[in-house]
């Protein structure tokens, strides 16, 4: 190789110097502070996320938009590192906000770096991963920084459902720094070092006099247990980043691709004897539906989404003979598996996420109904419950329903019944499908007989038995074709795998529209 001349050597050295300056971000001292807070730096996070050596940086030398207040301020890398790379060989785009540079705050040029890779991701059909660690709109840039957020929000919305967008929250994120993640498909947070709020504790104190800490206002536990804003919480940056990779493994690159199929050694015909111990015909004996899921899916691996919020419904990803599937299931251990406002929101959102990205949906039903109560009615359970009905009907992915035990009333319909668009409905011999449970039904239908009887208790018991005989089994619904088959519990895995394979090339179209009008 020929040695470059002096002039070229100087140009190369100048480039390397500039690059080193950008890569140093806010400097060693601020980076040290970042590490002391248990956090990785922006570049270390990218390194952890991507396959070694695959990172291709973009907009490296972009500088901040100059104005009077920004004069003399240095912002190496403009507070965000952007580019592309691969995860397990699959191309993704990533932006990683650098808190060491002006608190990772977002100015116009910072935003332009982010929108650049969002546009490239949309054009090439690849997921976008945002590693958020930002104090929100850059105060010194005024309306320009608000405009920058607008450009990002706009893209979050128009690319929604086109390519997966995943947000990690890895520091104190305020204002615009939380609305962009809120427009993406999934939010993952790190416990103890990440926060999300629109206005911080100081502002809240001055306006409402409420005193809160960062953690009790917008920590990972708040958003994965109380508000339902975030989907998953982890201990530390590394775990969050590994969580992103895990999640991505269940999603395709974009809405045109089918959901991934991963190789597995778990036999298709593995029998599920364990289910006989987990689910008994005794309606009063609750069981953990997660145990049922783990028994059915490949290697017992289930990535539960929002496991700590609205626990009466379970949603998450798993594989059946390698095929990625989304699972929606009632949880008899919480509120008897009834549906309420939060459960409806959680399920509807997940169903729509699966449908966007062609992930087939398995629904496991053991539901007593919609939760009765004044607060539920005042809170708009009608509007929220309708989201579930809407989301299932709207979804065109393969949809298989399995009724494990009870399925009553409106909740029977909301849990993807035949009439709401299920492609195949199975039931176990333990299943009962009715307008309501036998006790409640007897009280209403036979109220007069019971009241007029010489022995009301005996008459009531007799009427309950009569009702059970007539409805409390899967065969009435099966006789009318609402259930395709009543299947042996031990053969469920094989049956589900074969059914999803049968449905793999399913196509379903809908009447022309701009977009549907889901009740919000
Ligand atoms: C510019 C900022 C900044 C901001 C912080 N910094 N916030 N620079 N614009 N918004 C700078 C600090 O001056 C400091 O610079 C460095 O970032 C680190 O900040 P600290 O305050 O020292 O860090 P910490 O104590 O960890 O507190 C982090 C924080 C706090 C909680 C995020 O900085 C904070 O409350 N910032 C303001 C948040 C905010 O109100 N953002 C605007 C939201 S409105 P040096 O040089 O010392 O390192 C918004 C509008 C969009 O986003 C709304 C769309 C709907």
pLDDT digits (tens, 9 = 90+) for 446-483: 888 888 888 988 999 998 888 888 888 899 999 999 99
Q: What is the pLDDT of residue 468?
A: 82
Residue pLDDT, tens place only, 98-141: 999 999 999 999 999 999 999 999 999 999 999 999 999 999 99
What angle separates helix 289-296 from helix 492-503, to the nearest 10 degrees? 70
Residue 133 CA to residue 278 CA, distance in Å, equals 43
| Residues contacting ligand 1 via CB (< 6 Å) | 30, 102-103, 105, 135-140, 146, 149, 172, 174-176, 179, 200
Does residue 411 have an active-site annotation?
yes
Ligand 1 atom closest to Cα of residue 199: 40
- In which residue ranges of the chain is pLDDT below 50? none
Q: What is the pLDDT of residue 436?
A: 81
Ligand 1 atom closest to Cα of residue 136: 52
CA of 194 to the centre of ligand 1 (A): 14
Residue 31 CA to residue 22 CA, distance in Å, equals 13
CA of 107 to the centre of ligand 1 (A): 12
Tokens 């001055």 sit on residue: 206
Q: Which of 79, 148, 176, 243 is catalytic?
A: 176
Could you give the dihedral angle defined by the CA atoms of residues 38, 40, 42 and 44, in that order, rounded to the nearest 10 degrees? Answer: 180
Q: What is the pLDDT of residue 237?
A: 98
Residues 6 or more apart from 434 whose CB is under 8 A from it? Answer: 407, 408, 409, 441, 467, 471, 472
Residue 250 CA to residue 358 CA, distance in Å, equals 10
On average, the pLDDT of the chain sits at 95
The CATH code belonging to domain 274-435+472-503 is 3.90.226.10
What is the DSSP annotation of 117-186? Answer: HHHHHHHHT--EEEEE---SB-GGGTHHHHHHHHHHHHHHHHTTTTS-EEEEE-SEEETHHHHHHHTSSE
Which pair of tokens denotes residue 85? Answer: 């790379």
What is the DSSP annotation of 56-113? Answer: EEESTT--PPP-TTTTT---GGGGEEEEEEEETTEEEEEEEE-TTTGGG-B-HHHHHH
Q: What is the pLDDT of residue 391?
A: 98
CA of 135 to the centre of ligand 1 (A): 4
Residue pLDDT, tens place only, 429-455: 999 998 887 888 888 888 888 888 889
Residue of 27, 32, 39, 103 with the most ligand 1 atoms within 8 Å of its CB, for mutation: 103
Which pair of tokens denotes residue 99? Answer: 């808190």
Tell the residue nearest (CA) to atom 15 of ligand 1: 102
CA of 99 to the centre of ligand 1 (A): 9
Q: Which of 121, 177, 220, 411 is catalytic?
A: 411
Domain positions in the chain? 6-248, 274-435+472-503, 438-471
Tell the residue nearest (CA) to atom 43 of ligand 1: 175
Ligand 1 atom closest to Cα of residue 200: 35
Q: Which of 104, 175, 218, 369 is catalytic?
A: 175
Q: What is the pLDDT of residue 435?
A: 84
Taking the CA atoms of 405, 410, 411 and 416 in sequence, report the sign of the dihedral they define. Answer: positive
Tell the residue nearest (CA) to atom 46 of ligand 1: 102
Which pair of tokens denotes residue 429? Answer: 């011999």
Smallest CA-to-CA distance from 124 within 163, 180, 167 is with 163
Phi-psi region of 401 (alpha: psi -120 to 50; beta: other; left: phi over 0): beta
β pairing state of 90-97 and 80-87: antiparallel
Fold agreement (6-248, 274-435+472-503):
yes
Tell the residue nearest (CA) to atom 18 of ligand 1: 103
CATH superfamily of 6-248: 2-enoyl-CoA Hydratase; Chain A, domain 1 (3.90.226.10)
Does residue 176 have an active-site annotation?
yes
Residues 6 or more apart from 107 whose CB is under 8 A from it? Answer: 64, 65, 70, 75, 78, 79, 138, 140, 141, 144, 145, 148
Residue pLDDT, tens place only, 370-422: 999 999 999 999 999 999 999 999 999 999 999 999 999 899 999 999 999 99
The ipTM, to two decimals, is 0.97
- Residues 354, 360, 366, CA angle at the centre, nearest 5°? 90
CA of 106 to the centre of ligand 1 (A): 10
Residue 177 CB: number of other CB atoms within 10 A? 28
Residue 468 CA to residue 241 CA, distance in Å, equals 51
Q: What is the pLDDT of residue 175?
A: 87
Tell the residue nearest (CA) to atom 31 of ligand 1: 172
CA of 102 to the centre of ligand 1 (A): 7
Residue of 97, 106, 135 with the most ligand 1 atoms within 8 Å of its CB, for mutation: 135
Tokens 């409905």 sit on residue: 425
Q: What is the pLDDT of residue 4?
A: 83
CA of 134 to the centre of ligand 1 (A): 7
Return phi, psi of residue 273, to 5°.
Answer: -55, -35
Q: What is the pLDDT of residue 49?
A: 98
Q: What is the pLDDT of residue 444?
A: 87
Ligand 1 atom closest to Cα of residue 26: 48
CA of 21 to the centre of ligand 1 (A): 22
What global pTM score does this model have? Answer: 0.95
Distance of CA 39 to the CA centre of its chain: 24
Q: Which of 142, 410, 421, 440 is catalytic?
A: 410
Residues 6 or more apart from 191 whose CB is under 8 A from it? Answer: 219, 220, 221, 233, 234, 235, 236
Tell the residue nearest (CA) to atom 20 of ligand 1: 103
Tokens 């996070």 sit on residue: 45
Could you give the dihedral angle defined by the CA atoms of residues 410, 412, 414 and 418, in that order, rounded to the nearest 10 degrees? Answer: -120
């Amino acid at each position: 190789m020929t040695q470059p001349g002096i002039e070229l050597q100087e140009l190369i050295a100048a480039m390397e110097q500039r690059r080193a300056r950008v890569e140093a971000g806010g400097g060693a001292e601020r980076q040290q502070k970042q590490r002391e807070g248990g956090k990785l730096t922006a570049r270390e996070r990218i390194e952890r996320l991507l396959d070694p050596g695959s990172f291709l940086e973009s907009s490296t030398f972009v500088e901040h938009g100059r104005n009077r207040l920004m004069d003399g301020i240095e912002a190496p890398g403009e507070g965000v590192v952007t580019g592309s790379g691969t995860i397990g060989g699959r191309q993704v785009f990533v932006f990683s906000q650098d808190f060491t540079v002006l608190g990772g705050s977002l100015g116009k040029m910072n935003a332009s770096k982010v929108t650049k890779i969002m546009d490239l991701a949309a054009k090439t059909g690849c997921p976008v991963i945002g590693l958020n660690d930002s104090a929100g709109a850059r105060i010194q840039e005024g309306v320009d920084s608000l405009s920058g957020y607008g450009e990002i929000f706009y893209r979050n919305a128009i690319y929604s459902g086109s390519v997966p967008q995943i947000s990690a929250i890895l520091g104190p994120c305020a204002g615009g720094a939380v609305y962009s993640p809120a427009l993406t498909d999934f939010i993952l947070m790190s416990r103890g070092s990440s926060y999300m709020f629109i206005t911080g504790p100081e502002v809240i104190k001055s306006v409402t006099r409420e005193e809160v800490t960062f953690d009790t206002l917008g920590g990972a536990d708040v958003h994965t247990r109380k508000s339902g804003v975030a989907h998953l919480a982890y201990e530390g940056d590394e775990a969050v980043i590994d969580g992103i990779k895990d999640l991505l493994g269940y999603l395709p690159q974009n809405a045109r691709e089918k959901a991934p199929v991963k190789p597995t050694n778990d036999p298709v015909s593995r029998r599920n004897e364990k289910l006989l111990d987990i689910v008994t015909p005794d309606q009063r004996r609750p069981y953990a539906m997660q145990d049922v899921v783990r028994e059915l899916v490949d290697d017992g691996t289930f990535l539960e989404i929002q496991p700590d919020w609205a626990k009466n419904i379970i949603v998450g990803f798993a594989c059946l003979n390698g095929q990625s599937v989304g699972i929606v299931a009632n949880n008899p251990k919480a509120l008897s598996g009834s549906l309420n406002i939060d459960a409806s929101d959680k399920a509807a959102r997940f169903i729509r996420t699966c449908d966007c990205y062609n992930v087939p949906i398995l629904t496991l039903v053991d539901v007593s109904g919609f939760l009765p109560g004044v607060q539920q009615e005042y809170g708009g359970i009608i509007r929220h419950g309708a989201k579930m009905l809407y989301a299932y009907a709207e979804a065109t992915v393969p949809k298989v329903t399995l009724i494990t035990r009870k399925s009553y009333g409106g909740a029977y319909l909301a849990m993807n019944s035949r009439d709401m668009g299920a492609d195949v409905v199975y039931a176990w011999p333990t299943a009962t499908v009715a307008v309501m449970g036998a006790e409640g039904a007897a009280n209403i239908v036979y109220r007069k007989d019971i009241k007029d009887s010489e022995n009301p208790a005996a008459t009531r018991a007799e009427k309950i038995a009569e009702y059970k005989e007539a409805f409390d089994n899967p065969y009435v619904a099966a006789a009318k074709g609402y259930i395709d088959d009543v299947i042996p519990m031990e053969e469920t895995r094989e049956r589900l795998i074969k059914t999803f394979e049968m449905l793999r090339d399913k196509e379903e179209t809908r009447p022309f529209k701009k977009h549907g009008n889901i009740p919000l």
